[in-house]
Structure 1
Amino acid sequence: MTPRILTRYGTRFPAHALAAMLAVFGAVAASPSSAQEGIAIPPPARDEPAGQAKTETAVLAGGCFWGVQGVFQRVAGVTNAVSGYAGGEKDAAHYQTVSSGGTGHAESVKITFDPSKISYGKLLQVYFSVAHDPTELNRQGPDVGTQYRTAIFPENEEQARIAKAYIAQLDQARVFNAAIVTSIEPGRTFYPAEDYHQDYLTLNPGQPYIVYNDLPKIENLKRIFPDLYRDDPALVSEVGVTN
C-alpha cells in the first residue's frame, strides 16, 4: 500500500490509492464482520511466574500500530499502550522516514501492564489471536513493507524464551493455516510515535481504514476474551507517553 499521508484528523491518500480503497470500502464498510475473524488459540504452555513487580512492559509489532494499540488499550490489566517504532535507530524514528521501509523499524506498540492482573504470555495470546495475522510476511492487510512486519521485541531473556516457546507450540499444533513468521528481535529500543498517531482508533472510529481493518479486532477481542475486555480504554491522552 502507498504510505499513508496523514493530517491531524484523518488520512489522505494519493488519488489512485484512494479510488481503489473506496471500491473496497464501499463493498464492505457496512459489514465490518467480513474482515478476517480472530481465532481462539490455546494459552502458552510456558509463561512468566508470578512476581512482586507492579508493572512490566512488552513491545509488539503487528502491522499498522493504530489497530494494535486500540486492541491492547482495551485489555484489562494494561495501564498504557503507546504507538511507536522499534528495530531501528533513534534519528530515523519518524513516521515519514519509517514509511520508506528502509530504516529497520517496525510500527510497534509498547504495552505497560500489571503482571498481577495479566501475564506476558496472556498478552501474547491476545496478540496472536486478534491483534494481527502472524503468518503474513512483511505486511498486514493492505499495508506492505518491513515496517509492517510481525515482530516481538522482548524486554528481557525470559520474555524472549516465552515468545519463542509459544511460537513453537502454536506451529506444532498447526493453529494457523501457515507457519508463523513473527520475528523475535531482542535488544531494540522503542521510540514513541508522533502525537497524532496516539489513540487514533478511539479518536477516529468512523475513518474507513479503521472501520474495515481495526474495528473488527476490537469486536474479536470482546468475543474471544470477554473476561479481558474493558470498555474504558487506557488512553495515552490520559496516561501519558513513556519511553
Structure 2
Amino acid sequence: MNKSLLGASLFALALAAPIAHAYEAGDILVRAGAITVNPNTDSGSVKVDQGPLSGANLGGKATLSSDTQLGLNFAYMFTSHWGIELLAATPFSHDVKLKGTSVGAANGKLGSLKQLPPTLSVVYYPLDSASKFQPYVGAGINYTWIYDESLSGTAKQNGFSNFKADNSWGWAAQVGADYMINDNWMINGQVRYIDISTTATVDNNALGQGTRAKVNVDVDPFVYMVGIGYKF
C-alpha cells in the first residue's frame, strides 16, 4: 500500500514538474569556439589609377589566405523561436598575394592585413522549444574593419609602399545547430556566407613617381565555427 502511494506521488510530481525548454523568451546564449574564415576570392585585374602609367591594366588577380581564430557568439531570444545574434572574434590575419600581373616584381606575396568582421543577425529556430536539437537559420549585416596592412620584405625591396585596403559593409547569411547537453550547456556548429568587398591600393615609385595601383576584391568568405555554448 505504501509502495503504491509512493508511486502515485512520484507520478503526480512528474506531471506537475515544468518541461525543460531549450530556449525561451529572455534567454541569453553565449558560444565560443574555433572559427575559420575561408575567402572565396573573386578579384578584378590590377590597374594603375595614379601616376604616369595611369589607366594601364596590369592584369592578374589578388588572393587572400584563410585563418582560424577564437569565435564568439552572443544571442538574445525574443521568443522561443526568434532571436538576435552578434558574431565576434579575435583578429584574423590574411596573406595577400598577386599573381599573373604583367609586372613580374609585383607577383607573389604583396603583404598581409588583419580584419575584424562583427556581424549582427536575426535568427530563427523552427523546432519546438522542448527539442534538444535546435537547427536555425539567420540573416543580417556585416561590417569588416581592415587594419594593420603591411608589406612583405620582398615587396618593399621591389619599391612598393603605402599598402591600404578599404573597410566593408555587406550582408550575411548562416545556418547552424545547437544540441543541448543539459538545461544550460550546448554543442554548436555553424556555417556563414559573408558579403565582403574591398579595394586595395599600393604605391610603387619604381614604375614612375606617384604611381599607384589598385585592385577590387570580392572576398566573400565562407565562415565555419564549431564550439560550445551556455544558456543564461
One fold, TM greater than 0.5? no
Between 1 and 2, higher relative CO (CA 8 Å, sep ≥ 6) is seen in 1
TM-score w.r.t. the length of structure 1 is 0.23
Which structure has more helix as a fraction of its residues? 1
Q: Between Structure 1 and Structure 2, which shows a larger proportion of strand residues?
A: 2
